[in-house]
Amino acid sequence: MQNKEAPVGAVPASGDNELAELGLAAAAAAIRDGDITSEAYSAALLRRAWRYSELNSFITIDESAVLSAAEQADKSRAAGSRAPFLGVPIGVKDSYSTRDLPTTLGVRTLDGFTPAEDADVVGSIKNAGGIVFGKNNLVEMSWGLTGHNSRYGQVKNPYDAAHVPGGSSSGAGASVAARIVPAALGGDTVGSIRVPASLSGVVGFKPTTGRWPSRGIAPVSRTLDTAGILARSVDDVALIDQVVTKNAAAPLSDRSDLQGARFAYAPRQHMELIDADIETHFKSALLRLQDAGAEVVEIDLGEDFSALTERIAWSLFFRETMEAVTEFLRQNDFPVSFYGIYHDLKPELKGAWGHLVLPSGQGYISEETYEAALSVDRPELQRRLGKIFTHSGFDALLFPTTPSPAPLIEQRSMFTVAGEEVRDLFLAKNTVPASGAGLPGISIPIGLTGHGLPIGLEIDGAHGHDRKLLDLARRVESLFDALPAPA
C-alpha cells in the first residue's frame, strides 16, 4: 500500500472497532447528527487500513488528504451542510480516474500517474460530501477474477488470507469486508463486482448497463461494462445508487415480508456443477423465502443457455478490449498507448492479450462472430431472460452468485469443484448472463461454508427496474443474519 504520510497512530484507538462497524448510512447520520466527527471516524479507518495492510486491498491512500477532507467536512457540518455522505470515506477501484490521487489501472506503466479530472461517478460521490479514502487494488486492467496483481500484490480474502477475494474489484470487496471502508466503487463486465462480493461476504450491485455514468472509468467492453458499488447492506447500496443516478424516487419501502413476491430459479443452468456447501445454503435460502410468503418456482432457461451466454460474453469481452482501452487512454489524456500497456503486462496476461485481443492473435474473434454475438445472440438472451419478468410475471431470478466458495490463492488458476477440475473463469459462470443481457443484479451474503468462507445469493431483476430490485433485495436480506466480521 503506497502512502504519502506516516500512519495515524501506531496503536488502534479505543472505539475504533465500533466506528469501523458503521455502515455508510449510519456513519453519515452519526456525523450529520454530531454524534461523531468525520475526523475521528476517518482516523479510525486509516488506522484500520494499516492494521489490515497485509490484505493488499489498497494501492494508494493519502492520509493527509483524507484527514484534511474530514476536517473540512466537520466545518461544513457545523455550517449547516446536510449532504448525503458528508464526511464519509469511500474506497474507489483504481480503474476510476481521480483528480487528486494516482490512477494506475493496476499496471506498472501508469505507476504514479494522476489524471486531471475525476470520473463522473467519483464527482457525484464528492458532490454528496463523500471523501475518497484511497484507490483499491484490482486485477491488471480489470482482466481477471481472482485478485492477483503482479505489481501491487495479490489481494487476500479477509475471511481467510490463504484464499482469493474475487475480482476484478478485488480490493474493493476485501476493504469493505474488512471494515476498512463502509463502501467502495467497483466495476463489472462479467461479474467483477458480484464475484468479489460473493467471495468476500459483502453486498455487490451491478446496475442496468448504461444506467450509471461511465466517463473516466477504464473499460474492458463498451457493451458489457458498468460501474457499481460494494457495501455491507442493501440500504447503503440503494443510497449510493440514488445519489449517482440523481434519482429523486422515494426511498426503499419499510416492508420486511415477501408476501406476493414471485421468484424463479433455474437449477439446470445455475447448479449443474456446484460446491456442496453452496448448494445447501441456496436450497435453504429458497425455503426461507417461501416461509416469508414468497412464491418460488423452478424454471428451465434452455439446453443451450450456458453456451449462448458464454459465447456472447467472451466474444464481446475479448473483441472490444483493444478499441475500448485505446479510446479511453486518448480521451482521458493518459500518458501511455494501448501497446505501451500491452508490452508491460505480466507474462500470463500479455499472453492472453496477444492471443485474444490483438488482431494478429490466433484466438482473435472474427468480425462475423462478433457481429453475430451483438445482433443475434444478445437479443436472444435478452428475449429469453426478459420473458421471466414480462411473460411469466416473476419479480426476480435467483441463483448462487458463484458456484464455489473462494479458492486457495495457490490454486487460483485451476481448482476443484465437486470433484471436477475447473479454471478461474468458472467463478463467473452464473454472473455472465446478466452482463450479456444488461440486466441489474445484486449479490447478498447468506452464510458461511463449514470452513468459514462467505456464500452469496444473486438476485437479478428486469432491465431498468433497478429500484424495484433493490427494494426486493433489502427484503430478502432481512431474512438472513449478518455475517460476523472477519477475525
List, in sequence order, every residue forming a beta bridge with 442; answer none if it has no partner: 205, 459
Q: Is 88:246 a contact under the CB 8 Å cutoff?
A: no
Specify the residue for cell string 475479448: 318
Beta strands in 33-179 (DSSP E): 58-61, 89-93, 131-136
Cell of 473: 433485495
Contacts of 114 (CB under 8 A, 6+ apart): 98, 99, 100, 101, 102, 103
Q: Is 444:400 a contact under the CB 8 Å cutoff?
A: no
Nearest Cα residue to 107 out of 139, 146, 155, 144: 139
Q: Is 8:47 a contact under the CB 8 Å cutoff?
A: yes
Q: Is 193:230 a contact under the CB 8 Å cutoff?
A: yes
Q: Is 204:441 a contact under the CB 8 Å cutoff?
A: no
Q: Is 445:456 a contact under the CB 8 Å cutoff?
A: yes
CA distance linking residue 25 with residue 169, whole number of Å: 22
> Which sequence positions are flagged as catalytic?
93, 168, 192
CA distance linking residue 71 with residue 42, whole number of Å: 10
Specify the residue for cell string 456472447: 312
Nearest Cα residue to 286 out of 305, 261, 269: 261
CA distance linking residue 364 with residue 355, whole number of Å: 7
Q: Is 3:63 a contact under the CB 8 Å cutoff?
A: yes
Q: Where are the alpha helices (DSSP H) in 95-233?
A: 120-127, 170-177, 194-200
